[in-house]
Amino acid sequence: MLKLHFAPMSRAVRTLWLLEELGLPYELNQMAFHPKDLKSDEHRARHPLGRIPVLEDGDITMWESGAIAEYILERHENGGLKPAVDDPRWPAYQQWFHYCEGMVMPPVNTIVVQTMLLPPDRRDATVLAQAQKLLTRSWAPVDTALEGKDYLIGDFSAADTMLGHAAIMSNRLGCVPDEMTNLKAYIARLEARPAFQKADSVGK
C-alpha cells in the first residue's frame, strides 16, 4: 500500500488530494509542519532536506511532489485523471501541470517565508511586495485560459490538483484579484470537491 508522509498546509495536500480523487488506498503518517518532526533524524532518513510530501511504495521512496503525482498516475492511476499523449488536450495538460512549480510556487514560497516563517525583525517588505506582484501577474494567463471552462483542460485532471492547489493557496494569501473572475470561480469549484475538502481538513 502507498504510504504518504504528510503535514497540513503544505504541498503534501496536493498529493493527498490526488489519492482521494483516484480512490486509491493509502496509509497516512501525519506530521506537524514544524522542525521537531520535519528535521528529525527519522524523517531525514526519508527526505534528505527534511521536507514533505514523501511517498513510499514498497522499496521506492519519492519526495518531489510533481514527480510523486506522475508516479501515482503512471503506476496506480486507477482510471486516469490525465489525457493520453495523442489526446488533443495533452499539451495543455502538460503545460498547466508544470506551470505550478515553474511560475507560481516560487513567489508563493517567498510570501510564506516573509509572512509566516521569518520572525518580524527579519522580514523584508520590498521582497514581499515584489513576490506578491509576481504571483498575481502569474495568474493572468490562467484566468484567460479558464474562459468557458470548468477546469484547466475542460474535464477535471491531475493538472487541477497541481495548479489548482497553488491557486487555492494564492487566493488564501490574497493574491488572486477579484477581477480574475474565471480563476475565482475555478477556485470555488475546486474547494467544493469532496476529495479536496477531505485532504484539506486533515490536521486542522
Per residue in 1-60, pLDDT tens? Answer: 999 999 998 999 999 999 999 999 999 999 998 888 889 999 999 999 999 999 999 999
Tens of pLDDT along 126-147?
999 999 999 999 999 999 999 9
pTM of the model: 0.94
Q: Is residue 39 part of a domain?
A: yes
Q: What CATH number does residue 28 fall under? A: 3.40.30.10
Bond preceding residue 53 cis, omega within 30 of 0: yes
**How does DSSP classify residue 62?**
E
Range of the domain at 121: 90-193
> Comparing C-alpha atoms, which of 156, 150, 5 is closest to residue 79?
156
Q: Are residues 53 and 96 in the same domain?
A: no
* Number of structural domains in the chain: 2
